[in-house]
Amino acid sequence: MLIEDRLKELRDKINAKVPAGITISQVEFEGPELVIYTDEPKKFADQEDLIKVLARDLRKRIVVRPTILEDPETAVTKINAVVPENAGISDIFFDPDTGEVLIEAEKPGVVIGKNGATLREITKNTCWTPKVVRTPPIESSTVKQVRQYLRSIKDERKAFLRTIGRRIHRDVIAKDHWVRVTTLGCCREVGRAAFLLTTPESKILIDCGEKPGSATSTPYLYVPEISPLSSVDAVVLTHAHLDHCALVPLLFKYGYDGPVYSTPPTRDLAALLQLDYLDVVKKDAGRQPYTSNEVKEYLKHSITLNYGSVTDIAPDIKLTFHNAGHILGSAVAHFHVGDGLYNIAFTGDFNYQKTRLFSPAVSSFPRLEAVFMESTYGGSRDLQPPREEAENKLYEVVNRTIEREGKVIIPAFAVGRSQEVMLALEEGMRKEKIPKVKVYLDGMIKEATAIHTTYPEYLNTDLRNQIFRDGLNPFLAECFVQVDSSELREKVIGGEPCVIVTTSGMLSGGPVMEYLYALAPDERNTLIFVGYQADGTFGRRLQKGWREIPMGNRETLVVKLDIETVDGFSGHSDRKQLMNFVHHLQPRPEKIFTIHGDEGSTIDLASSIYKRYRIETRSPMNLETYRMV
C-alpha cells in the first residue's frame, strides 16, 4: 500500500474514534511515532484514555500535537508573563519533535500552579505542551549544547523524522522469514562492539565502538553484509562507552543517513565522549577518524527512547530499552522481530548487582528466544569482592594516607566509576568512616556528573529519593571541589591532605599525569586503582611494580608513593552475577551468545551456562553470521 493511502486509512480510523468537536488536521509518521495534529490538543488531552485506546488499536506510538505552535521566542515571553517570578525558571527548552516545552525551574510547583492552572494557561496561550522539571543541581554544558543544537536544526530534523517515519512504516514485502545476527566486532575480545541484526526486510546495527588501545582496529564495516551503509535501517546504541559508540559518527561519514536510537542520557554522554575521543586521538598525534561535524550529524540523526517504550524501528522490528545497571542510560536492547516471530536481547554491558547509582539490570522480558550477553568477567575465576567490602578497603586506604598527611590519587573513567567512588567517599565522610577532607574532581568528571543529575529518573530509587525527597544530593556535598585551572591544580598539589579523583582511568594521559608526577616522590601519598588496567597502559605497568618513570631529558622519576588496587567498583557483572542473570532470565531463552570478553572468558562462560542450564550457547568469532530462526 502507498504510504499516503496508509496515512489516509489511519486518519479515517482516528476520526471514527475521536468525539465530535475534535478536528484532526493531519496525521503523519515522524520517526517511530504517529503524530496526530489537531487544533484542539487540550480537548484531546481531556479524553484521558483516547490516546491509549488509539495506540492499542492502531498498534502505534501516538503523539498529539497542536496544528499551530507558537514561535518559541514569542512563547518564552508569554510563559515568563504567566509564571510567577519566584518559580525561578532557569531554562526553557522547546522540543519541536514532541511539541513539548521543557521548563526548568527551582520551584516546579510554582510553575505548575494550583491544580495545574498555570500549565493550562501556558497551553492555551502558546499551544506548546509544558513539562516542568526541577533545575538540575549542576548545570551540564553538554546537555545545554545538545539541546541548543537540536533547536537550531529543527526544520531539517522534522524533515528527517518524516522520512524515517515513512521508511519505518513501509510495507513488508519479503516472503521469506529469517532472522540473522552477524558479528562485526567484540567477539572473543573486548572492544569495537558492532552487531548486525538482519531480516529479509531490515538491517539493524547494534553499537559501533572502538577497540581501546588499538587505533587501527575498527569493527568490520567493509564486509558486504553491511554494505552500502545506506541499506542499514537503524543504529541502536546500548550505552555511551567508547567501545560501543566511538565510531557511530564515522557511519555518517561513510554514507549512513538513518536514525541512531539510544536513551536520552546515552545521547548526551556519547556526544561528550566522542568529542573527548577526538581530542585524545589528536593529542596522541593520531589521525582523527572523523571530526566534530560528524558528531553533529550523529546528534541530528539521534532519536531517544526511554526504558520500557516499545518502538517500531523497522517494518518488522520493535525495539525496547531496559535498564542495564552499567552506567547512566545504559540499556539492554530487546528486539521483537515480525509478528511474534522472534525475540532477541543484546545486553550491552550490564551489572546485575545494585550499585549506589543504579538498579540491577532487567532480566525479565515479555518474550525472549536469544541473548547476546557480555562476558567481561566471564571466566570462572573472575570474581569481584562485594561492593561493601570494596568500599571498606577504600576507606581503610584513605584513612591510612590522610593519617600520615598524604594525598590520595584515584584515576577513574569520567563516566560511571567516578560517580560511584564519589558517592562512596561522600557517605564515608557523612557517616564518619573517613575524615572530612576535600575531594578534588579534575578532568571531565564534573561534566559527566552534571549529566547524571540532569537525568535523575535514570538513577536508582534510593538515590533519587535521597536527592528529591530528602533534599540530600550527595553530588552537591561540600567536600567536592572542581579543579578547573592550573593554578588550582598547583594549590591542590601543594595543599592539605586530600583525595583527588581524576582522568584518565588508565594513566594514559589527562590531568592525572600532572598529579602523579608531583606526588609520586612522596611516600606518604597513595595511588588507588579502582578500575581495570589494560595491558600496555602506564597504569598496568605501575600496578605490576614499575617504580621508575622516564621523564625525558634522561631524567627518571622515582616512584615512592604507595600503590593500591581496590577491586569491586566495576560496572560489570562478575562471573557469579553473570550466571545469576542467566538463572533469572524470564522467559528462559533458547540460545545464549557470549561476547565482549577475552577468548577464555567467553568460552568458559558459554560452556558453564550450557552445563548448568542446558541452554544452547555459543562463543562466536568476529565475522560470523548466526541464523536465529
At closest approach, how far in Å is the CB of 598 from a copy of itself? Answer: 17
Q: 323 forms bridges with which residues in the sheet?
A: 331
* 625 near a copy of itself (CB under 8 A): yes
Q: In the numeric block, which cell numbers belong to residue 555? A: 631524567
* 567 near a copy of itself (CB under 8 A): no
* 482 near a copy of itself (CB under 8 A): no
HSE at residue 315, side-chain half, CA atoms within 13 A, is 15
Instruction: State yes or no: 46 annotated in a binding site.
Output: no
Smaller CB separation from a copy of itself, 202 or 330: 202
Smaller CB separation from a copy of itself, 224 or 545: 224
Smaller CB separation from a copy of itself, 473 or 607: 607
User: With left for phi above 0 and alpha for psi between -120 and 50, is residue 628 left, alpha or beta?
Assistant: alpha
Quickly list DSSP for 551-599. Answer: -STT-EEE--SEEEE-----SS--HHHHHHHHHH-BSPPSEEEEESS-H
Stretch that binds Zn ion, among 347-355, 383-391, 484-492, 522-530 (CB under 5 A): 347-355
Q: In the numeric block, which cell numbers belong to residue 37? A: 495534529
Instruction: Tally Cβ neighbours within 10 Å of residue 537.
Output: 18
Instruction: State yes or no: 49 annotated in a binding site.
Output: no
Three-state SS at 157: helix
Do the beta carbons of residue 206 and residue 195 sit within 8 Å?
yes
- Show the site string, 158-187: x = touches a copy of itself by CB under 8 A, - = not: ------------------x-x-x-x-----
Smaller CB separation from a copy of itself, 96 or 258: 258
Q: Of a copy of itself, Zn ion, none, which one sits near residue 178, judging by CB under 5 to 8 A according to partner kind?
A: a copy of itself
Stretch that binds Zn ion, among 11-19, 217-225, 243-251, 390-398 (CB under 5 A): 243-251
Do the beta carbons of residue 197 and residue 344 sit within 8 Å?
yes
Over 37-100, what HEC string results? Answer: EECCHHHHHHCCCHHHHHHHHHCCEEEEEECCCCCHHHHHHHHHHHCCHHHCEEEEEEECCCCE
Task: State the Cα angle at 144 between 86 and 134, rounded to 5°.
Answer: 35
Q: Of Zn ion, a copy of itself, none, which one sits near residue 243, judging by CB under 5 to 8 A according to partner kind?
A: Zn ion
Rounded distance between C-alpha atoms, residue 484 and residue 76, angstroms:
33
The residue from 148, 227, 293, 309 that contacts a copy of itself (CB under 8 A) is 227
| Chain residues 185-214 in contact with a copy of itself, contact rule CB under 8 A | 200
* 243 near Zn ion (CB under 5 A): yes
Q: How far apart are the first and last CA of the chain?
A: 27
Instruction: State yes or no: 349 annotated in a binding site.
Output: yes
Smaller CB separation from a copy of itself, 138 or 232: 232
* 611 near a copy of itself (CB under 8 A): no
* 349 near Zn ion (CB under 5 A): yes
Q: Of a copy of itself, Zn ion, none, which one sits near residue 291, judging by CB under 5 to 8 A according to partner kind?
A: none
* 607 near a copy of itself (CB under 8 A): no
Stretch that binds a copy of itself, among 124-132, 207-215, 321-329, 619-627 (CB under 8 A): 619-627
Q: Of Zn ion, a copy of itself, none, which one sits near residue 257, judging by CB under 5 to 8 A according to partner kind?
A: Zn ion
Rounded distance between C-alpha atoms, residue 490 and residue 440, angstroms:
12
Place of cell 484542539: 40
Rounded distance between C-alpha atoms, residue 442 and residue 429, angstroms:
20
**CA distances (Å), 185 to each of 191, 218, 321, in order?**
7, 8, 22
- Show the site string, 338-357: x = touches a copy of itself by CB under 8 A, - = not: --------------------
Instruction: State yes or no: 243 annotated in a binding site.
Output: yes
Instruction: State yes or no: 241 annotated in a binding site.
Output: yes
Count residues near Zn ion (CB under 5 A).
4
Smaller CB separation from a copy of itself, 472 or 623: 623
* 257 near Zn ion (CB under 5 A): yes
Residue 16 makes CB contacts below 8 A (sequence gap 6+) with none
Three-state SS at 232: coil
Stretch that binds Zn ion, among 228-236, 242-250, 491-499, 610-618 (CB under 5 A): 242-250
At closest approach, how far in Å is the CB of 118 from Zn ion? Answer: 38
Rounded distance between C-alpha atoms, residue 205 and residue 210, angstroms:
15
Q: 502 forms bridges with which residues in the sheet?
A: 411, 442
* 627 near a copy of itself (CB under 8 A): yes
Which of these, 533, 483, 536, lies nearest to 504 by C-alpha position? Answer: 533
At closest approach, how far in Å is the CB of 175 from a copy of itself? Answer: 9
- Show the site string, 192-231: x = touches Zn ion by CB under 5 A, - = not: ----------------------------------------
The residue from 16, 21, 173, 224 that contacts a copy of itself (CB under 8 A) is 224
Do the beta carbons of residue 37 and residue 10 sit within 8 Å?
no
Q: 165 forms bridges with which residues in the sheet?
A: none
- Determine if the peptide bond prior to 474 is cis (ω within 30°): no
Do the beta carbons of residue 9 and residue 3 sit within 8 Å?
no
Query: Starting from the edge strand earliest in sequence, which strands make up the sheet with 311-314, in order?
Result: 311-314, 317-323, 331-337, 342-346, 370-374, 591-595, 616-618
**Checking DSSP bridges between strand 480-482 and strand 439-442, what pairing results, if any?**
parallel
Smaller CB separation from a copy of itself, 43 or 170: 170
Do the beta carbons of residue 312 and residue 318 sit within 8 Å?
yes
Instruction: State yes or no: 244 annotated in a binding site.
Output: yes
**Checking DSSP bridges between strand 24-30 and strand 234-236, what pairing results, if any?**
unpaired
Smaller CB separation from Zn ion, 105 or 234: 234
Q: Of a copy of itself, Zn ion, none, which one sits near residue 349, judging by CB under 5 to 8 A according to partner kind?
A: Zn ion
At closest approach, how far in Å is the CB of 217 from a copy of itself? Answer: 10
* 241 near Zn ion (CB under 5 A): yes
Q: Of Zn ion, a copy of itself, none, which one sits near residue 225, judging by CB under 5 to 8 A according to partner kind?
A: a copy of itself
Rounded distance between C-alpha atoms, residue 237 and residue 500, angstroms:
32
* 254 near a copy of itself (CB under 8 A): no
Smaller CB separation from a copy of itself, 19 or 228: 228
**Checking DSSP bridges between strand 591-595 and strand 370-374, what pairing results, if any?**
parallel
Rounded distance between C-alpha atoms, residue 573 and residue 596, angstroms:
12
* 623 near a copy of itself (CB under 8 A): yes
Stretch that binds Zn ion, among 120-128, 236-244, 558-566, 604-612 (CB under 5 A): 236-244
Query: Starting from the edge strand earliest in sequence, which strands make up the sheet with 33-38, in order?
Result: 24-30, 33-38, 61-66
Instruction: State yes or no: 583 annotated in a binding site.
Output: no
Smaller CB separation from Zn ion, 65 or 417: 417
Smaller CB separation from Zn ion, 38 or 376: 376
List residues near a copy of itself by CB under 8 A. 176, 178, 180, 182, 200, 220, 222, 224-227, 231, 621-627
| Footprint of Zn ion (CB under 5 A) | 241, 243, 257, 349
**Binding region for Zn(2+):** 239, 241, 243-244, 326, 349, 596
Residues annotated within a binding site: 239, 241, 243-244, 326, 349, 596
